[in-house]
Structure 1
Amino acid sequence: MEFSGENNGAHVLLFPYPTSGHIIPLLDLANHLINHGLKLTILVTPLNLPLIEPIQAIHPSNSIQTLILSVPETPPRSNFAKKVRATSKLHDPIIDWFRTHPSPPVAIISDFFLGWTLQLARQLGVRRFAFWPSGAFTCLVMSYTWSNVEEIFSKTDENALVTFCNIPNTPEYPRRQVCTLSSQYRKGDSDWEFFREGLLDNDKSWGALFNTSREIEGLYIDQVKKEMGNDRVWAVGPLLNVVGPGYSQRGGLSAMPHGKVMTWLDGKVDDSVVYVCFGSRSTLTRQQIDALATALERSGVNFVWCLRGGHMMDGNEEDAITKEYENQVANRGLIIKGWAPQVAILKHQAVGVFLTHCGWNSVLEGISSNVLMLTWPMDADQFTSAEFLFNELKVGIKACEGGSQVVPDSIKLTQILCDSISGARPQKERMRKLHDGVLKAVQDGGSSSRDFHAFVKQLSQLQSVVF
């Protein structure tokens, strides 16, 4: 999206959920907002300050400020609902900050996990916009699931089909593939009731932003508008397309020098490399790593394997890959133990295939890079995102369906890897068309660009009011 010259000086507070997978896309949004003349304050925890540094380095200090607050620690092994509820302890510090600020924000853009900020915004007399780093399809799945969570999980059969009546084409999924967070819900538990209420409050927010485009999810964006009861729903992605200088550091410093990774890829022919990554939080068992390592070795394909989770469920990932194995695949395999410059890798012409856990950030990066995606979902909303790639967009190929504990058949996985690189696949042609459409969407006059400009115009018209 091109710089528009808008400079109304509107001040907005951005409040991400404090994990990298949620912070990074909100920072991508921040980059666009600053380029359109807005002034931002980003609420960040001390631990996540390094993620903010690359965007601070490329913008004037009066365009982006930080509000540094610490989320209270939760006891070891606390469930996710308790961790989300802990963020609400920032309510009073945020109120104090607003009331002492000489020019407080006119709006709060907060992550969808932070639905409690709707009441905060109303108390402050400003608008709250829900930001979805996930897609509209996932939003609809979560809305239906959490509205009917007791009924869905009243049956003990994890293979029982759940029919999503609120989604176009009425998809059905086994209960075990529905957002795994919802299976942990306990009626009457104060943390889970808080979490559920916050998710359902997203539909009551004044507006919603999605890191997606109409070319990917137009049908589902329209459905979200129906559920929210207004047109203040904007598809403004993929936001990563305009990342500016220093994008190789997006999300953190690479564990391997960026130049070394690019030089290695430069030595490979176009579309000959498989990139393997399961995100920053997914964990593999030793058996899963062994099966994947065997398949990569036997397939003969070139590959970059990012082990950036840093740990396994039952040991250390770095120890699971031996020097002997690295030596065996040295000419055609690059193993990065830690954070990798994923966007830069995927956009390199040598990379043609992406073996992914189907987190939405990775899905968008794959589409934006025009690579064939092999799906291996682990948990959360990754199963429905994988099915969306396979059934709706028809640009994905299933590599493993079982989730975090299932070990793939290495022989079958070997064949899938071989087939993904060699020969024409209909998924590749569909991906090319989807990629071209998404590329146009973020260019000036495209659907995402138009939505972004409409959203900025909406922000420029806001003033603090008392609800």
Structure 2
Amino acid sequence: MASENRQLQIFFLPAMGQGHMIPMVDLARLFASRGVKATIVTTPVNATLISKSIQRTNVNILTFKFPSAEAGLPEGCENVETTPPHLLANLILASLKLRKPVDQIIRDHHPDCLVADYFYSWATEVAGTYNIPRIVFNATNFFTLCVSASIRKYQPFKNISSRSEPCLIPDLPDVMHMTMEQLPNWKADGESDMAKLSQAAKVSASKSYGDIINSFYELEPAYVDHYRNVLGKKAWHVGPLCLATRDMEEKVHRGKQAAIGEHEYLKWLDSKKTSSVIYVCFGSVAKFNDAQLREIGLALEASGYPFIWVVRRSPKKSEEQEEWLPGGFEERTEGRGLIIRGWAPQVSILEHQAIGAFMNHSGWNSVLESITAGVPMVTWPMVADNFVIEKLVTEILKIGVSVGVKRLDGIKGDSIKSEAIEKALNKIMAGEEAEEMRKRGKTLAELSKRAVEEGSSYVQLDAFIEEIALYRQR
């Protein structure tokens, strides 16, 4: 029997995408800071991506070979960002093939707990083999989990006449309407590979020991209580996890290597007035076509506000005009606009006092990073639970406005004209309503910091560690 005084060891198994890896790495950092032996279990390519962000921590990494050939993928395609779009389904289904190597690592190293991303449908069973608890890491919030549970239970869309018809989502603390166009569209017959994988993940999660959620009680108290007391789920809120990264160097290296130097963007921001700059970034997955990027550019130019615009494009060659930019755009906005082509140090940018608003895809990481910085948002949902999160931002928290997207349209995003974008930007930046949103945002930012420093999330983390320590004594 293991010694009761042995250091508690927890394994962290992130999904294969930056939106899931980054908060899982933050989670491992958080546990390591509290004396837990925290080990991230991942593939060699993904280990390289995260190694720099944890080099000044006590977090460990264990790697296993990714089954590229078995999954029908070229070598090196081990996450969403390095995999061609037409092979993404192969990557997702490859998660089923990770069971054997992860099982071997658990057998060899004897952790006390496995924190595995929601999508690993085999994780609960593997953990049970070694009598350790499997904890589900859901890269979302309590509100989304409650909405999803209501939709599964009540099936509010079964009698609608149109996919664009709003339906009441029942049994929630707030009145909430959504359309089918705003939700992921797995095949109705449930026979697609993705539908089967999704169903298996739900079943596995329902049998797990509990959930760790990247949120804090003060942000969504009614939904924390609903999830635990009405739905009967065991869950710990330990966020915002982005606050686990404290000093500037760590923030810059969080995620990928930044495409811009720290001094360059900070010097640029320092030259701008407080709350005057619009920050535009749509995460690691979204890929707008050239026409939509031009509409965004026209809106930013017409708004008259300074802006930082993050675009996933290679730097242009000298004297080359990029087709996605309106003609003469960079010349006309010189000094007022900063374009970052590639990965941006988002947390560091958002925390600067010059940032006045953040236009994003309503991904939970971006939304929570904006909340901790006290920055209101323009929301542009694209995939997965983005529309649900938009509802939280715009209708529950009232710290954002919608750009006007009506339906999920994959990683391309629903087409929006420059006039609608400009209208949303003006609404979030100026006027009485904008000021009220900014005040609410600043209040939530203060509450988020208290939660992790001494409040609700700090207490929850203590409670979780104590419970896992007691579990291993059984």
Q: Normalising by the residue count of structure 1, what TM-score does the alignment of the two structures yield?
A: 0.88
Q: Which amino acid counterpart does residue 66 of structure 2 have in structure 1? A: S
Q: Would you say the 8 A contact 2:275–2:356 is kept in 1?
A: yes
* Larger RCO (CA under 8 A, 6+ residues apart): 1
Residues 420-435 of structure 1: pairs in structure 2 closer than 5 A: 420-424=428-432, 425=434, 426-435=436-445
Please report how far the alpha carbon of residue 82 of structure 1 lies from its aligned counterpart in structure 2 after TM superposition.
Answer: 5.8
Please report how far the alpha carbon of residue 170 of structure 1 lies from its aligned counterpart in structure 2 after TM superposition.
Answer: 4.7
Aligned to 1:415: 423
In the alignment, structure 1 residue 107 sits paired with structure 2 residue 116? no
Q: Which amino acid counterpart does residue 234 of structure 1 have in structure 2? A: W
Aligned to 2:283: 279
Aligned to 1:368: 372
Aligned to 2:35: 37
1:207-237 Cα deviation digits (max 9, x unpaired): 111000111122112222236635x311111
Task: Tell me, in whole angstroms, the C-alpha distance in 1 between the residues paired with 2:91 and 2:150.
Answer: 23
Of residues 232, 245, 258 in structure 2, which corresponds to 1:229?
Answer: 232
Task: Tell me, in whole angstroms, the C-alpha distance in 2 between the residues paired with 1:449 and 1:429.
Answer: 25
In the alignment, structure 1 residue 168 sits paired with structure 2 residue 176? no
1:12 is paired with a residue whose SS is: strand
Aligned to 1:88: 96
Larger mean CA deviation between 281-290 and 331-340 belongs to: 281-290
Task: Tell me, in whole angstroms, the C-alpha distance in 1 between the residues paired with 2:469 and 2:101.
Answer: 26
Task: Tell me, in whole angstroms, the C-alpha distance in 2 between the residues paired with 1:297 and 1:86.
Answer: 43
Q: Which amino acid counterpart does residue 172 of structure 1 have in structure 2? A: H
Larger mean CA deviation between 78-87 and 417-426 belongs to: 78-87
Q: Which amino acid counterpart does residue 238 of structure 2 have in structure 1? A: V
Of residues 132, 135, 139 in structure 2, which corresponds to 1:126?
Answer: 132
2:279 is paired with a residue whose SS is: strand
Aligned to 2:76: none
Please report how far the alpha carbon of residue 148 of structure 1 lies from its aligned counterpart in structure 2 after TM superposition.
Answer: 6.5
Of residues 434, 452, 455 in structure 1, which corresponds to 2:461?
Answer: 452
Residues 8-23 of structure 1: pairs in structure 2 closer than 5 A: 9-23=7-21
1:209 is paired with a residue whose SS is: strand
Please report how far the alpha carbon of residue 323 of structure 1 lies from its aligned counterpart in structure 2 after TM superposition.
Answer: 7.7
In the alignment, structure 1 residue 202 sits paired with structure 2 residue 205? yes
Residues 130-141 of structure 1: pairs in structure 2 closer than 5 A: 130-141=136-147
Quickly say closer, same or farther: Cα 1:288–1:189, change in 2 above 3 A. Answer: closer
1:140-172 Cα deviation digits (max 9, x unpaired): 2333445567x8468672113343334322522
In the alignment, structure 1 residue 398 sits paired with structure 2 residue 402? yes
Aligned to 1:461: 470
2:358 is paired with a residue whose SS is: strand
Larger mean CA deviation between 158-167 and 26-35 belongs to: 158-167
Aligned to 1:258: 262
Quickly say closer, same or farther: Cα 1:175–1:19, change in 2 above 3 A. Answer: same
Q: Would you say the 8 A contact 1:372–1:428 is kept in 2?
A: yes
Quickly say closer, same or farther: Cα 1:148–1:69, change in 2 above 3 A. Answer: farther
Quickly say closer, same or farther: Cα 1:146–1:51, change in 2 above 3 A. Answer: farther
Please report how far the alpha carbon of residue 81 of structure 1 lies from its aligned counterpart in structure 2 after TM superposition.
Answer: 6.7
Q: Normalising by the residue count of structure 2, what TM-score does the alignment of the two structures yield?
A: 0.86
Q: Which amino acid counterpart does residue 169 of structure 1 have in structure 2? A: D
Q: Which amino acid counterpart does residue 173 of structure 2 have in structure 1? A: P
Larger mean CA deviation between 211-220 and 340-349 belongs to: 211-220
Q: Which amino acid counterpart does residue 250 of structure 1 have in structure 2? A: R
Task: Tell me, in whole angstroms, the C-alpha distance in 2 between the residues paired with 1:93 and 1:371.
Answer: 42
Larger mean CA deviation between 162-171 and 390-399 belongs to: 162-171
Please report how far the alpha carbon of residue 74 of structure 1 lies from its aligned counterpart in structure 2 after TM superposition.
Answer: 4.4
1:442 is paired with a residue whose SS is: helix
Task: Tell me, in whole angstroms, the C-alpha distance in 2 between the residues paired with 1:117 and 1:160.
Answer: 38
Q: Which amino acid counterpart does residue 23 of structure 2 have in structure 1? A: P
Please report how far the alpha carbon of residue 286 of structure 1 lies from its aligned counterpart in structure 2 after TM superposition.
Answer: 2.2
Aligned to 2:163: 158
Aligned to 1:4: none
Quickly say closer, same or farther: Cα 1:190–1:355, change in 2 above 3 A. Answer: closer
Larger mean CA deviation between 265-274 and 431-440 belongs to: 431-440
Task: Tell me, in whole angstroms, the C-alpha distance in 2 between the residues paired with 1:156 and 1:340.
Answer: 43
Aligned to 1:220: 223
Quickly say closer, same or farther: Cα 1:348–1:300, change in 2 above 3 A. Answer: same
1:399-450 Cα deviation digits (max 9, x unpaired): 2323545332322432332343233422222222222222221221x11111
Quickly say closer, same or farther: Cα 1:159–1:257, change in 2 above 3 A. Answer: same
Residues 293-312 of structure 1: pairs in structure 2 closer than 5 A: 293-308=297-312
Larger mean CA deviation between 209-218 and 433-442 belongs to: 433-442
In the alignment, structure 1 residue 381 sits paired with structure 2 residue 385? yes
1:166-201 Cα deviation digits (max 9, x unpaired): 4322522011112x1x43454234552232121243
1:284-330 Cα deviation digits (max 9, x unpaired): 1222211111111111100000013779xxxxx96413683212211
Q: Which amino acid counterpart does residue 220 of structure 2 have in structure 1? A: E
Which runs of 5 or more residues in structure 2 are unaligned?
A: 74-83, 316-320
Q: How many residues were matched structurally?
A: 445
Identity in percent = 29
Q: Would you say the 8 A contact 1:126–1:464 is kept in 2?
A: no
Quickly say closer, same or farther: Cα 1:386–1:394, change in 2 above 3 A. Answer: same
Quickly say closer, same or farther: Cα 1:318–1:138, change in 2 above 3 A. Answer: farther
Task: Tell me, in whole angstroms, the C-alpha distance in 2 between the residues paired with 1:168 and 1:111.
Answer: 27
In the alignment, structure 1 residue 437 sits paired with structure 2 residue 469? no
2:398 is paired with a residue whose SS is: coil
Q: Would you say the 8 A contact 1:359–1:385 is kept in 2?
A: yes
Quickly say closer, same or farther: Cα 1:218–1:252, change in 2 above 3 A. Answer: same
Task: Tell me, in whole angstroms, the C-alpha distance in 2 between the residues paired with 1:393 and 1:249.
Answer: 30
Larger mean CA deviation between 288-297 and 397-406 belongs to: 397-406
2:102 is paired with a residue whose SS is: helix
